[in-house]
Copies of this chain bind each other. A is one copy, B any other.
Amino acid sequence: MEISALLTSAGINISICIVLLSLYSILRKQPANYCVYFGRRLVCGGARRYDPFWYERFVPSPSWLVKAWETSEDEFLAAAGLDAVVFLRMVIFSIRIFFITAVVCIAFVLPVNYYGQPKVHKEIHLESSEVFTIENLKEGSKWLWVHCLALYIITSAACLLLYFEYRTIAKMRLGHITGSASKPSQFTVLIRAIPWSPDQSYSDTLSKYFTNYYSSSYMSHQMVYHNGIIQRLLLDAERMCQSLKHVAPEINCRPSLTPCTFCGGLTATNSFHILSNEGDSVKGMELGELTMTTPEQERPAAFVFFKTRYDALVVSEVLQSSNPMLWVTDLAPEPHDVYWRNLNIPYRQLWIRRIATLVGAVAFMFVFLIPVTFIQGLTQLQQLSHAFPFLRGILKEKFINQVITGYLPSVILILFFYAVPPLMMQLNVFSSVRDIPAQLARAVPTQAGFFTTYCFTSGWASLACEIMQPMALIWNLVAKAVSKNKDDSYETLRFPYHTEIPRLLLFGLLGFTNSVIAPLILPFLLIYFFLAYLIYKNQILNVYITKYESGGQYWPIFHNTTIFSLLLTQIIALGFFGLKLSTVASGFTIPLILLTLLFSEYCRHRFAPIFHKHPAQVLIDMDRADEMAGKMEELHKKLHSVYSQIPLHSQKSSSKGECSTPFANQELPDPEKLKPEEGDAIAKELWGYQGNESGQEHEDKSCPSASSPENRTPTMIELHKRS
């Protein structure tokens, strides 16, 4: 690919980005789009009121960029939680390391590559981009030590930065644990596979076991019930509500928090509000009755509550029974993270389901090898005209030629595999174990041009897409136009960590592997990361709400994958030094690989355990502080009610709390959990696979929501009261 083709592609993408960002800065000021671009602010009550006759709103402005830039980390932590901060730190780490990498590689490696062979150079824009890669060096070149040195500098910088980041984030995580003092999950253990006994119910077996072995610490428990009965109740209630609505239209079936379009504040529907205050005591009784009447509906799973955090920790970590498939213990998830349907699955099935999920994922990746093989060929112009004979005439045109080779292949690729890490595209060229480094070394520079355009199309474009929220925007417009629905209730989105962290990692991988081999990609990557910093910060502050908080558990994934990228870079460079017959450079790379492995092992010992286990010392100190302050009683009291399979009305009351302090929203039951969807078996399995560690769900609902299940709760309470 010629440099001019590359620049054409970059130009197209930069123009698109500028247009989209300008468009965004206008669209966000339109009141009709507030629910698309300020979902979070609307929930939190922080959206400002605009004068409808304020015509500046039709002029693009960079104010949002300034605002995103100026928000400090503390403000960000308070507003969006630890996971968001960790995510932002991933972006900052990428900016830092690729700034260093770009400086080193463009100042030293690029000239060495360019003047690698004694030949007359063309004008710079007519040069092939391969002139800037390590391919251009002649065999046995004495300048390969520059690449080797650059590799050392990059690796050292990356390891140093990773170390300090890991240390800081570990501290933040500990602060998060101690800071979230009122978490009921810390007192609770999820027990699965309670052994069945013909003489007594599961509940009796459980209380007998814990009063026998943990009499000093056991408080009480909450059984999990067969989903059928809960769902039947909910459906009945729903149906009754629907029929009652026709009779008495003043009973609103969707009485959720209704935002006032212009003031941005929240006004609760009256019926909802009044009932909420009266319903509490009634509910408690009804739950009790239900518990009494359905012992045969019990499942062999329960939440067990303990007197102190330390007691719960101990029970969750110790192997309970001599049969490891019985009395399986885990620290409980937060009440609003519980997916009750999953607790119905017998523990004996879980491991099979996990394996099935894994097999499915692997099969899915291999299916994607077919389009990838095809696409990879397109970057070579000859192959392209061979594949599409009708294009031959057009391809002779210079500009179109540039567009097609610089832009088309990665666009097609995006269409095929938006979600699968394109690392797999390297897999089908492997045929020899011993030659992997050399094969990788051959593959990477020829694909450097492709990766650069991939950075434009997948990186920059996805960021522009992210900030525009086109799906939500269109859905919002269509819904408003078609249904004339004035009641614009909405559902806020959660940040899609599960797609954005892999994307960040993928670009990190591309950056590292190309760094000393084809450094031309680095400036474009830096632009991507810089843009990502501003856009993600803006989006997290304005659009997304925090519902699930892992407490920084994404960082070890990022850390390990970055180490993997570094190692892969070193192995590829090793292959290259081998191909170029430089034994000195090869010799110096091997210790670097070993040192990187040692660093990784050190971090695994020093920091990783904090992300898997809670330190006893910290929990004991928290317990003592609470006991001194006399808060224990209060904490114990609410444990039973928050882990309730039937959504209690009182759990709604704090839904506003999640905006300011994302850790305090434990009373909010996740509406997603109550939805009787039958087709979400995959999500269910994924949840089971991820366990409590890094599970998150992707809620992809757009603005004007159709009958939200969240609203069933007050409805049911109403019905209970009336019946």
Smallest CB-CB separation from A213: which chain B residue?
Answer: B620
Q: How far is the CA of A327 from the CA of B620 in the complex (A)?
A: 15
Q: Does A314 contact B (CB under 8 A)?
A: yes
Q: Does A617 contact B (CB under 8 A)?
A: yes
Binds B, one of A133-141, A431-439, A502-510: A431-439
Smallest CB-CB separation from A606: which chain B residue?
Answer: B325
- State whether A321 touches B617 (Cβ < 8 A): yes
How does the 8 Å CB contact mask read for A329-369 relative to B, with 1 for contact and 0 for none? 00000000000000000000001100100010000000000
How does the 8 Å CB contact mask read for A416-453 relative to B, with 1 for contact and 0 for none? 00000000000000111110000000000000000000
Q: Does A477 contact B (CB under 8 A)?
A: no
Cβ-defined partner of A616 (8 Å) among B319, B433, B609, B613:
B319
Residue from A321, A598, A617 whose CB has the most chain B CB atoms within 10 Å: A617
Q: How far is the CA of A614 from the CA of B359 in the complex (A)?
A: 33
A74-109, CB < 8 A from B: none
Q: Does A46 contact B (CB under 8 A)?
A: no
Minimum distance in angstroms from A535 CB to a CB of chain B: 34
Residues of B within 8 A of A322 (CB): 170, 174, 610, 615, 617-618
Q: Does A602 contact B (CB under 8 A)?
A: yes
Minimum distance in angstroms from A190 CB to a CB of chain B: 17
Q: Does A152 contact B (CB under 8 A)?
A: no
Q: Does A285 contact B (CB under 8 A)?
A: no
- State whether B617 touches A213 (Cβ < 8 A): yes
Q: How far is the CA of A167 from the CA of B355 in the complex (A)?
A: 23
Q: Does A270 contact B (CB under 8 A)?
A: no
Residues of B within 8 A of A607 (CB): 324
- State whether B320 touches A616 (Cβ < 8 A): yes
Minimum distance in angstroms from A553 CB to a CB of chain B: 15
Residues of B within 8 A of A608 (CB): 324
Given contacts A314-B314, A355-B598, A598-B355, A320 and B213 within 8 Å (CB-CB): no
- State whether B351 touches A613 (Cβ < 8 A): no
Q: Does A318 contact B (CB under 8 A)?
A: yes
Residues of B within 8 A of A614 (CB): 319
- State whether B613 touches A319 (Cβ < 8 A): yes
Minimum distance in angstroms from A70 CB to a CB of chain B: 33
Smallest CB-CB separation from A171: which chain B residue?
Answer: B322
How does the 8 Å CB contact mask read for A593-623 relative to B, with 1 for contact and 0 for none? 0100110011001111110011111101000
- State whether A324 touches B213 (Cβ < 8 A): no
Q: How far is the CA of A90 from the CA of B613 in the complex (A)?
A: 37
Residues of B within 8 A of A351 (CB): 601-602, 605
Minimum distance in angstroms from A637 CB to a CB of chain B: 26
Minimum distance in angstroms from A571 CB to a CB of chain B: 16
Residues of B within 8 A of A213 (CB): 616-617, 620
A299-333, CB < 8 A from B: 313-314, 317-325, 327
Smallest CB-CB separation from A612: which chain B residue?
Answer: B319
Cβ-defined partner of A321 (8 Å) among B430, B605, B615:
B615
- State whether B434 touches A324 (Cβ < 8 A): no
Minimum distance in angstroms from A217 CB to a CB of chain B: 11
- State whether A313 touches B324 (Cβ < 8 A): no
Smallest CB-CB separation from A178: which chain B residue?
Answer: B322
- State whether B615 touches A320 (Cβ < 8 A): yes
Minimum distance in angstroms from A668 CB to a CB of chain B: 29
Smallest CB-CB separation from A329: which chain B residue?
Answer: B616
Smallest CB-CB separation from A608: which chain B residue?
Answer: B324
Residues of B within 8 A of A613 (CB): 318-319
- State whether B606 touches A324 (Cβ < 8 A): yes
Residues of B within 8 A of A327 (CB): 617
Cβ-defined partner of A319 (8 Å) among B325, B434, B602, B609:
B609
Q: Which 10 residue pairs are nearest across A and B when measured between Cβ atoms?
A: A324-B609, A319-B613, A318-B616, A322-B615, A314-B314, A174-B322, A319-B615, A321-B617, A431-B432, A213-B620
Enumerate 14 A-B pairs (CB-CB under 8 Å) in ascending A order.
A174-B322, A213-B617, A213-B620, A319-B614, A319-B615, A322-B617, A324-B605, A324-B606, A325-B605, A351-B602, A351-B605, A355-B597, A431-B433, A432-B432
